[in-house]
Structure 1
Amino acid sequence: MNMTVTDGRTTRWDEHNAQRRRDLVESTLRAIRRHGPGVGMDEVAAEAGTSKTVIYRHFGGRTGLYTAVVESVHEFIWSRLRHHISGAGPLEPAELVRELTDTYLALVERDPHIYQFVVTRPLGESSVEDPVTGITGRIGNEVAEAFRAWLRSEGLDPRAANTWGHGVVGFVWAIADKWITTGHQRPRADIVDFTVRLFEPAFIHQQPTPRSPERTAS
């Protein structure tokens, strides 16, 4: 009986800590929007209405908080892609590229400070996974799975999926970086369209050519 009570209290405490971490990440995102990508821990603590000691207790320092923000950005991007991918059947590759590009650029357009924060690793603390490699690697794996599903549905060799998934994500991340450094000189819709037009012919080329009845029977 005591074990059950203890386990219940532990579970509630873990849930409380998880929620507190989520709240602190949201406060950090607000602080980044307010103060820019170089936001300090004092500013984050003020935005959260707490002390740096509390933040350190939950994240172990700026590196831990940074990692949690990166994870939040990854979930933001993938949750929006998942909405389009989880339809009745495999998403057409060109549409997947369109949604991926638009989602990335929407983040850059809406939250340029957060984008810059994510792509700048904190200095002076323990090593941390490269942000670009971390996010693009995970999303690349997920996009590759979507490509793999489409290839299989078309009766095509699925081995191209990893190359396509990671290649497209890396390409989109690169143009997002260029787009923000040039001050969004072209509308987002144009960049999305240019990207789809580049990749779409390659996907069309992959589609199997219908056979005539005579050749099918032979």
Structure 2
Amino acid sequence: MDHDPEPPPAPSTAPRDGRDSRWERHREERRAALVDATIRAIRTHGAGVGMDDIAAEAGTSKTVIYRHFDDKAGLYRAVAERIDGRVVRNVGAALSRSSTPAADTRELVASTVEAYLALVESDTEVYRFVVNRPLVDRPLADDPVGGTVDQVTDQLTGLLLEALRASTTDPSRARTWAIALVGSVRAVADDWLATPEGDRAPRASVVDSLTDLAWHGLAPVLAPTTTTTTS
């Protein structure tokens, strides 16, 4: 049975010393290792993985896991934050590829949708674990998924505001559009994964469909000065 060492005793009024710092570092490393083990267990057993499977993968006991995360919700939150960090990085990288979003916003939308769906498809069971929350039996006050959606929405809002600078469109609409875009991509991704793999549309087709929908709504207001005159 795996047993973590107890932290060194320290007087409540004493300043932090080297032992405290080493213990904190040990705890962070141990927590990271347990999150790694949980993700491996999810990939092996699927999104409905149980705590016994996670403990076996980690080579420890459920008691030790709870010592580091308090409860199942704490472990779920740590895994969700790890995966959501990947989402933010991947989508953020796609959003940052264009320094002049108004010039080619359609390509920007397409690359953003592609970045999200590629991550979802490459780690399907882990994504389902984060979205479906099988370990959580109560609402979370600090929902990590909601925080990630907000970060991506903020990034997209900034780019849309930049694209609207030369437009007469009310800039307050940028956030509304960003929320709609992020929400639609997430909803489509959830439905796409729920479809049996043999009946599932190719990722490229889904990316094209979402991009077309977004672009036909955005193009008229992002490029208001481009008009075609016929004689």
Shorter-chain TM-score category? Answer: 0.7 to 0.9
Q: Which residue matches 1:10?
A: 20
Do 2:90 and 2:116's aligned partners in 1 also have CA atoms closer than 8 Å? Answer: no
Counterparts of residues 112-127 of structure 1 (less than 5 Å): 112-122=124-134, 125-127=137-139
**Structure 2 residue identity aligned to 1:191:** V
User: TM-score scaled to structure 2, two decimals?
Assistant: 0.77
Q: Which residue matches 1:128?
A: 140
Q: Which residue matches 1:187?
A: 202
Do 1:74 and 1:139's aligned partners in 2 also have CA atoms closer than 8 Å? Answer: no
Residue 62 (structure 2) pairs with residue 52 (structure 1): yes
Residue 176 (structure 2) pairs with residue 166 (structure 1): no
Do 1:27 and 1:44's aligned partners in 2 also have CA atoms closer than 8 Å? Answer: yes
User: TM-score scaled to structure 1, two decimals?
Assistant: 0.81
Q: Distance in 1 between matches of 2:168 and 2:107?
A: 19
Give the drift of 1:95. Answer: 3.0
Report SS of the residue matched to 1:179.
Answer: helix
From 28, 49, 52, give the equivalent of 1:39: 49
User: Gaps spanning 5+ residues in structure 1: where?
Assistant: 213-218
Q: Which piece of structure 1 moves more, 96-105 or 203-212?
A: 203-212
Q: Which residue matches 1:73?
A: 83
Q: Which residue matches 1:146?
A: 159
Give the drift of 1:209. Answer: 3.7
Do 1:37 and 1:113's aligned partners in 2 also have CA atoms closer than 8 Å? Answer: yes
Q: Which residue matches 2:213?
A: 198
Give the drift of 1:51. Answer: 2.0
Give the drift of 1:138. Answer: 3.7
From 176, 189, 214, give the equivalent of 2:189: 176
Do 2:35 and 2:78's aligned partners in 1 also have CA atoms closer than 8 Å? Answer: yes
Q: Which residue matches 1:216?
A: none
From 183, 208, 222, give the equivalent of 1:207: 222
Report SS of the residue matched to 1:127.
Answer: coil
Q: Which piece of structure 1 moves more, 21-30 or 200-209?
A: 200-209
Cα RMSD (Å): 2.9
Q: Distance in 2 between matches of 1:57 and 1:119?
A: 25
Q: Distance in 2 between matches of 1:28 and 1:123?
A: 12
**Structure 2 residue identity aligned to 1:36:** G
User: Gaps spanning 5+ residues in structure 2: where?
Assistant: 1-12
Do 1:70 and 1:135's aligned partners in 2 also have CA atoms closer than 8 Å? Answer: no
**Structure 1 residue identity aligned to 2:82:** S
Report SS of the residue matched to 1:6.
Answer: coil
- Residues 61-109 of structure 1: CA distance to partner in whole angstroms, max 9, x if unpaired? 1111111111112111111122233346144432332223212222332
Q: Which piece of structure 1 moves more, 3-12 or 119-128?
A: 3-12
Q: Which residue matches 1:95?
A: 107
**Given the superposition, is the C-alpha separation of residues 209 and 111 from structure 1 closer, same or farther in structure 2, using an over 3 Å criterion?**
closer
**Given the superposition, is the C-alpha separation of residues 159 and 38 from structure 1 closer, same or farther in structure 2, using an over 3 Å criterion?**
same
Q: Distance in 1 between matches of 2:157 and 2:184?
A: 14
- Residues 2-42 of structure 1: CA distance to partner in whole angstroms, max 9, x if unpaired? x9983444334333322322221121111001001111111
Give the drift of 1:172. Answer: 0.5
Q: Distance in 2 between matches of 1:109 and 1:55?
A: 29
From 14, 17, 29, give the equivalent of 2:39: 29
Q: Distance in 1 between matches of 2:16 and 2:180?
A: 49
- Residues 145-165 of structure 1: CA distance to partner in whole angstroms, max 9, x if unpaired? 332333347685431221111
Instruction: Flag the structure with higher helix content.
Output: 1
**Structure 2 residue identity aligned to 1:171:** S
- Count of aligned positions: 210
Q: Distance in 1 between matches of 2:212 and 2:33?
A: 41
